[in-house]
Amino acid sequence: MSLENEYMKNAVGIEGLANLALTTKFPARPGHGTQGRKIVVYANYLKVIAKADVNLTRYNIDVSPEAAGKKLVRIFQLLLELPEFAGVATDGKSMIIAIQPLNVPDGYSVDIVYRAEGHDEPMEHAVTYKVRIVTPTSLPVAGLVNYLSNTSPGLDFPLKAEVTQALNTIFGHYPKAHDGTVSIGQNRHFAIAHTPQNEHSIWALGGGLEALRGYYQSIRPATGGILLNINVTHGVFMEPKPLSQLFPALGTGNKVTLQKKMSKIRVRVTHIPASKSKKSNKEIPRVKTIFGLAKPEDGRSDPHPPQVRTFGAGPKEVKFWLSAVPPAAAAAGAKAPIKSPKKPGPALSGNTYISVFDYFRASECEPRF
């Protein structure tokens, strides 16, 4: 309050008119503090205490070949695993933020062999991405604090937006990197674990949907310093259930509508045994993305296109070509027969069409359709 009073004192009269500028922090208020009753307002803001010598460094990141979405986020995760980038924050899109300048030159590049999350080694023929670290920019946090504490009209701090963006990246880095959290956009974060500690933040809506309570956070420049705004927010998500239970809840009567609901939904594959990490011995989940329901025109350009009886057909109505030689082996000129099933059941024969249901019934996995 004292800062605003001093600022308004300097902004009135002849001297105030001389200091008018498009960069003025506060609007002109000729009647400031002359009417009304003082009250105390409590708000969901926390003051950010910044040391006077803190200078953040922002590095722009260039990735080639081009990547986007979750793949780009994963490339940033692999970059931050390298020793020279330990302890930095990232938005997972275009930049990293370091609290101290990194020991790398401008234009420094490193090759990142793509490795799926949870895997110890890259897959065969994994794509190698060239990551270049360019255009370091020094961002003095104390400069923003001093600007916000200044009581002279007309002054400006050119890096206000850049410092604010860097602080938002730092405060949002942990929830985005945490396995038990889903982030929507840059600032909305939701804990997804169905545990007793989190059950108060989950509410079943019916129809295969549930509401999660999370939080929204944002850095706000304010009078006298920097504030972190934290608000409660809500989001609607699919219930974490097997698809055999989720589909009826979503409504299978209209398969066109069902496909729209399921498009781009990520699911964990459970009908194939999961592998384990050699280093941690933890299970590596198989996560896939649903792009749509099966339709008769799928794979028309393939030499042996799948046979789909109707739109949205199930595992008994979808057949695919089972070659006697796996495609990778065939490309290498091999003539190895397909493997025999490890448990009693119908034998698998090659060079024929087989339904998805029959294939899993005859292979190592129990079908769970």
pLDDT tens readout for residues 233-265 = 999 999 999 988 998 898 878 899 999 989 989
Q: What is the pLDDT of residue 12?
A: 63
Q: What is the pLDDT of residue 345?
A: 47
Residues 261-295: tens digit of each pLDDT: 899 898 988 877 778 877 777 888 888 899 999 99
Per DSSP (E only), the strands in 127-200 are 128-140, 181-184, 188-191
Segments making up each domain of the chain, as ranges: 2-44, 55-143, 241-293, 295-369
Six token digits for residue 186: 């840059």
Helix runs in the chain, H state only: 2-10, 13-18, 69-80, 141-149, 160-177, 243-250, 255-262, 327-331, 356-362
Q: What is the pLDDT of residue 179?
A: 84
Q: What is the pLDDT of residue 26?
A: 57
Alpha carbons 113 and 129: distance in angstroms, whole number: 6
Instruction: Tell which residue, 218, 215, 219, 220, has the closest CA to residue 231.
Output: 215
- Tell me the torsion sign for CA atoms 8, 9, 12, 16: negative
Coil, helix or strand at residue 84: helix
Dihedrals phi, psi of 3, to nearest 5 degrees? -65, -45
Q: What is the pLDDT of residue 194?
A: 92
Q: Which residues of the chain have pLDDT under 50?
A: 14-15, 17-18, 336-345, 366-369
Residue type, 186: Q
Report CA dihedral (245, 251, 255, 261) to the nearest 10 degrees: -80
Dihedrals phi, psi of 198, to nearest 5 degrees? -115, 0
Query: Could you tell me how many residues make up the chain?
Result: 369
Q: What is the pLDDT of residue 216?
A: 95
